[in-house]
Structure 1
Amino acid sequence: MDNLPVPRQIRISHVTCDSFRISWEMDSSGRDRITHYFIDLNKKENKDCNKFKHKDVPTKLVAKEVPLPMTVRGHWFLSPRTEYTVSVQTAAKKPYGDYAVSQWSEIVEFCTADYSIVHLNQLLQKAEAIARRMLPFSVFYRNQQQEYFQQPRCCRCMLPAVKDNSGSHGSPISGKLEGVFFSCNTEFNTGEPPQDSPYGPYRFQIQADVLFNRNTNIYFGDFYCMYTSYHYIILVLAPDGSKGDLFCKGRLPALDRSNNHFLSFTQEDDGSLSFRHAQDVILEVIYTEPVDLSLGTVSRIQGHQLMSQSTVNAKKDPSCKICNISVGR
């Protein structure tokens, strides 16, 4: 190790979904010989099998002139919500092209962040570009196995559960937001909910205005596909001032209840509400509060249980140009 100063006290700050700032301390002895920094960045899951490379084949080569703290982004291809390990060494380039290097610094661990509201607005714009036609609907519905609906009469409620990790890897609702999933898509030729479902042969139906009304706020949550030609959009319905509503404010783009591309209502002359949903996408609606089963009906559907269409923990297609934005997937 050619007596070059070893970076110490590595500090990571200003972490976003696809960037972070890094700085460190160094002894003054030998500092004037430094020409480059080598930064080794690995996903934490690969920590044991992807140990630091040979000293002559660094992960990244950074010019000494870069001031500290420096921002790491762009060509490093960072992903959101991902744990990384990072270590640094100093290097001095020799006349014949080789490098003298210091020892590696200590290994520091950190995790990248969720999509920010800026990133979600970019995703929202992409979703709006393909959701053009709207169809009327009147009910929200949820399919499950029969046992799910066979609850004791004293607690016949569908309770919120934490959203799984399906969809965009950086979505701030995955693994955090609690809610009850509903669908509202209808068949074009009948105007009714489809008779097939990937989630179970029994269906709970509830009038749309019970969940979505003037006291309900609506948020855009995600836009993704699963290596298929059709796309999914996740929307959040949260009663004004509820726990779910407070979670969504500032994290998710808010939509106009009566004027958006995905799910809206208008007030008729008699004061009633009429509802429309986007036809060209599959909507997944999360309602953030418990839902009493007595407010709707449960019946068996006539179609098939198409498990291939399930979105449980489904991974987003990172190569799709329609539903990806220019940050880590």
Structure 2
Amino acid sequence: MISIEYQQNNRSFGKNSDGKDIFEYIVESFRCKPREYWDEIHHFHEGLMEKYIKDNNGQPANRINGIISGLFFSARVYADGSLPTHSPFGNVRMMVPPGALLDPVINNFYFADFYCNYYTHYVTVVICRKGSDTDNYCYNKLYQMDPEDNPFLTVIPPRMPHYIPTYYVNSGVWVEIYYTEDVPLWLGRFDSILTTGAGTSKIGGLPNNKHCDRCNLYPIPYPDEKQDSLNSTFRVLINQVSSSESNMSSIAVERINSMSKIFRTNE
């Protein structure tokens, strides 16, 4: 976990034991889609981007696929802090201030998934409005994270009154923000971006890489799948590591965090 010292000292925040950057400061989160997608929302949905049911992307047995609704945003940045120059998801990018999606006063943060698509490793962080039906579901099924102290996406409170928080993302993995509320288009600004591949999302989602020996521990059998009360992705990650129910989730998060330091050197 990120220590209190990291939170209080921006100069050391996001450094590993070798002094290398692990976290990057972000000023925008973004969502890329084809131009036609945005035009339809503008002309036929009164400019409101409505959440929709989570597809089958990622680990096939994670607890949000086909159950909760939301919208994917990314917090990915290059080492110099700039946004990516291309996207496989579309040629128009909506950029939203992170505070509009990640306000910890009104939202809860949950870990939902850890997987790869043969090259890039992803962590899915679900953002829920406190007290909503989705929040209640995630509270019972997922691992809730402290917004100020977690290995993936952190919100650092301002030191002075009336200042805004600062936001950091782990640069060792691709952090996906799954925001579970509707988003109006006026909340962001737009620019064009180069596309790679088909330039659009695959209907139904891409299956995870079942051969990766870093994130694909899924074939390990559960002791009793029907009685498993924790997020199945966590169960896979920490199976044979600890038999203590009370610390399963925290061990899994720490394990992913240690893996992310390796991914950054290989991707």
**Alignment TM-score, normalising by the size of structure 1:** 0.56
Match of 2:35 in 1: 146
1:274 to 153, 166, 175: 166
Structure 2 Cα separation of the partners of residues 172 and 245 of structure 1: 13
Please report how far the alpha carbon of residue 311 of structure 1 lies from its aligned counterpart in structure 2 after TM superposition.
6.9
* Deviation (angstroms), 1:236: 0.3
Which residue number in structure 1 is paired with residue 48 of structure 2? 157
Partner of 1:179: 70
Instruction: Give the deviation of 1:319 after TM superposition.
Output: 2.7
Aligned residues of 2:89 and 2:195 also touching (Cα < 8 A): no
| Paired AA for residue 52 in structure 2 | A
- Higher strand fraction: Structure 1 or Structure 2? 1
Q: Is contact 1:244–1:289 with CA below 8 Å preserved after alignment?
A: no
Q: Write the letter of the residue equivalent to 2:221.
A: V
Contact persistence 1:221–1:234 (CA under 8 A): yes
Match of 1:284? 176
Map 1:142-291; keep pairs closer than 5 Å: 142-150=31-39, 151-152=42-43, 155-189=46-80, 191-213=81-103, 214-228=105-119, 230-270=120-160, 271-291=163-183
Contact 2:58 2:208 (C-alpha < 8 Å) held by counterparts = yes
The residue identity in structure 1 corresponding to 2:64 is: I
> Which structure has more helix as a fraction of its residues?
2
SS in 1 for 2:136: helix
- How far residue 327 of structure 1 moved from its aligned partner, in angstroms, is 3.2
Gap change, CA 1:197 and 1:154, over 3 Å in 2? closer
What one-letter code is carried by the residue in structure 1 that aligns with 2:150? N
Amino acid at match of 1:294: W
The structure that has the greater radius of gyration is 1
Q: Quick check: 2:34–2:200 contact (8 Å CA) kept in 1?
A: no
**Residue aligning to 1:320:** 212
> What is the deviation of 1:305?
3.0
Task: Describe the shift of the 1:173–1:212 C-alpha distance in structure 2 as closer, same or farther (beyond 3 A).
Answer: same
Task: Map Cα deviations across residues 23-72 of structure 1 (whole Å, 9 max, x no partner).
Answer: xxxxxxxxxxxxxxxxxxxxxxxxxxxxxxxxxxxxxxxxxxxxxxxxxx
2:12 corresponds to which residue? Answer: none
| Residue aligning to 2:8 | none
Q: Residue deviations 1:62-103, cap 9 Å, x none?
A: xxxxxxxxxxxxxxxxxxxxxxxxxxxxxxxxxxxxxxxxxx
Q: CA deviation at 1:188?
A: 1.0
In 2, distance between residues paired with 1:310 and 1:173?
18
The DSSP-based 3-state class of the residue aligned with 1:246 is: helix
SS state of the match for residue 37, structure 2? helix
Secondary structure of 2:137's counterpart equals helix
Deviation of 1:304 after TM superposition, in Å, equals 3.1
- Residue identity in the other structure for 1:146: R
Match of 1:74? none
| Post-superposition CA distance 1:163-189 (Å, at most 9, x none) | 111111110111111001101100113
Q: Report the CA distance between 1:218 and its aligned residue.
A: 0.5
Return the letter of the residue paired with 1:293.
Answer: L
Q: For residue 318 of structure 1, report the CA deviation from its aligned partner.
A: 2.3
Where does the alignment leave 5 or more consecutive residues of structure 2 unmatched? Answer: 1-20, 223-235, 237-267
AA paired with 2:106?
N
DSSP 3-state at the match of 2:86: coil
Q: Contact (CA 8 Å) 2:87, 2:199: kept in 1 or not?
A: no
Bigger RCO (CA 8 Å, 6+ sep) = 2
Inter-CA distance 308–142: structure 2 relative to 1 (3 Å threshold): closer
CA RMSD after TM alignment: 2.1
Of 175, 190, 203, 1:298 maps to 190
Between the two proteins, the alignment pairs up a number of residues equal to 195
C-alpha change, 1:306 and 1:194, in structure 2 (3 Å) is farther
Secondary structure of the residue aligned to 2:65 is coil
* Structure 1 residues 314 and 154, CA gap change in structure 2 (3 angstroms): closer
CA distance in 2, matches of 1:299, 1:162: 26
- Does the 8 Å contact 2:90/2:199 carry over to 1? no
Cα shift at 1:193: 1.4
Residues of 2 paired with 1:226 and 1:186: CA distance?
Answer: 19
